[in-house]
Structure 1
């Protein structure tokens, strides 16, 4: 069986943790290799399955990515996660759907494309600080933390982006500086491991490229069940899902569910690559 582990030109050989999936899969007579998703020379019909892993530039190439997804969907090549999940998950308005299903999300305002962005009209009066970002984004791309008294300035800064993309404005939760963001990782909808990510002093972004510190943690069974409830809202198969949120008073406040190309922190959980491969085998056989 031939499997493509999808990546991007920035990481042509995958990140180091994902590279280790190749020998793991070889133990099960599966030939896997890193393939750049937008490489025009690739014949996708050579592969039995495409596994989304390090496509970490898709939000910078929105139009190309959408066209490529359509092409793969038409071809009938099987993917994990499924194309239907990728299409839904790439646009963060899915959070609104989850909220309507009773999932507690970070307080969020959803903004349709507009040529007349007016943040002061739509941000609740009691908010002090907010984070603005495109609905189609990742890795803190085009993401800004601002004081709500700066809305006039932010209207100018995001005027062009707002005319081209839907936006989210989320209340900034100061707890993220103290408690960090917690990621619950699931393989085949089964809980695997959990990681806490704290931003560097003076920053709000938890990503490691901005100085974020990552630590493996053991969440309570109650918190795992709350994350499981979010994963269970998906009808489709999920090889992996990463539920990111802030835990305040043992309540999980969802920030996002990553189902496209999340870092799965294999390096912070012994045996997690083996668990991943085991669940992958279950789904593809």
Structure 2
């Protein structure tokens, strides 16, 4: 059996999964296989990565059950299951904030209501972003202009509330990538005109970039505050009104790694995996 197993979307599929599979296959060679994250996993693989397990947020209960099953069976998951479980719910931002990491100001509403929006606008300003705590790819994420009511799909549901960060439109969102604890590369993601979402499916695009001043300090503070060591990580951040960078998300489950933007073509990522596979001496 192949040494490395990479988990992919369930039967619902994803328009970009095939492209990413091809990129990883070209980088890692024949010792890699792919299977849906919903399929049973054994312990025959030396390492399992949920790198393309996109869409798990739509099946949160199944995802939680899968994590429990993998942990109980001793499946060698990277990143470790306890770290993935913590990272699944974006309320981890409050943990990082408590440890001094500069994060985007965030409130949590257990059952989103008009009162929650009133309180958030008093705290954050008139234009808000609301999103589920378990989400991905901007699914279920809304931009609420001044006076906009609670979206029907979000009313009464647990939601995170944040201010709209103006720099998303004027500068973009930075992503920094770390493999085996070492910095690899950075990109700048920009939305299409008039949008706030930087994902490709919404017209966003990415540009190879140098990490701006202070970005690596924010990224490394976030990684250091996480409850476990990450073999791979993407750290998303945006500039605040004060000019400082603030963490948007710490992506430790299934981040697009944008390896085509890495100067080494992904060699550091491949070496981090090989180092994990080599027996200790």
Superposition deviation, residue 24 in structure 1: 3.5
Match of 1:205 among 197, 210, 214: 197
Which consecutive unaligned segments of at least 5 residues does structure 2 have?
none
Distance 2:161 2:58 in 1: 20
Instruction: Write the mapping of 1:153-168 to structure 2, written as runs, cut at 5 A.
Output: 153-154=149-150, 156-160=152-156, 162=157, 166-168=158-160
In structure 2, the partner of 1:94 is: 92
Distance 1:13 1:199 in 2: 18
Query: Once superposed, what is the RMSD of the aligned Cα atoms?
Result: 2.2
Superposition deviation, residue 221 in structure 1: 5.2
In structure 2, the partner of 1:7 is: 8
**In the alignment, structure 1 residue 225 sits paired with structure 2 residue 223:** no
SS at match of 1:86: helix
Which consecutive unaligned segments of at least 5 residues does structure 1 have?
none
Superposition deviation, residue 17 in structure 1: 3.9
Distance 1:154 1:214 in 2: 31
Superposition deviation, residue 229 in structure 1: 1.7
1:227-250 Cα deviation digits (max 9, x unpaired): 212112234221111111113465
Distance 1:23 1:282 in 2: 19
In structure 2, the partner of 1:19 is: 22
CA separation of 1:43/1:81 partners in 2, compared to 1, >3 Å: closer, same or farther? closer
Distance 2:113 2:206 in 1: 39
SS at match of 1:176: helix
TM-score normalised over the length of structure 2: 0.89
Instruction: Write the mapping of 1:231-250 to structure 2, written as runs, cut at 5 A.
Output: 231-248=223-240
CA separation of 1:208/1:115 partners in 2, compared to 1, >3 Å: closer, same or farther? closer
CA separation of 1:204/1:2 partners in 2, compared to 1, >3 Å: closer, same or farther? same
CA separation of 1:13/1:221 partners in 2, compared to 1, >3 Å: closer, same or farther? closer
CA separation of 1:219/1:24 partners in 2, compared to 1, >3 Å: closer, same or farther? closer
In structure 2, the partner of 1:31 is: 31
* Ranges of 4+ aligned residues in structure 1 off by more than 6 Å: none
Partners of 1:134 and 1:143 within 8 A in 2: yes
Aligned positions, number: 273
CA separation of 1:185/1:115 partners in 2, compared to 1, >3 Å: closer, same or farther? closer
Superposition deviation, residue 75 in structure 1: 0.3
Distance 2:70 2:198 in 1: 33
Q: Higher strand proportion, which one?
A: 1
TM-score normalised over the length of structure 1: 0.88
In structure 1, the partner of 2:56 is: 58
SS at match of 1:20: helix
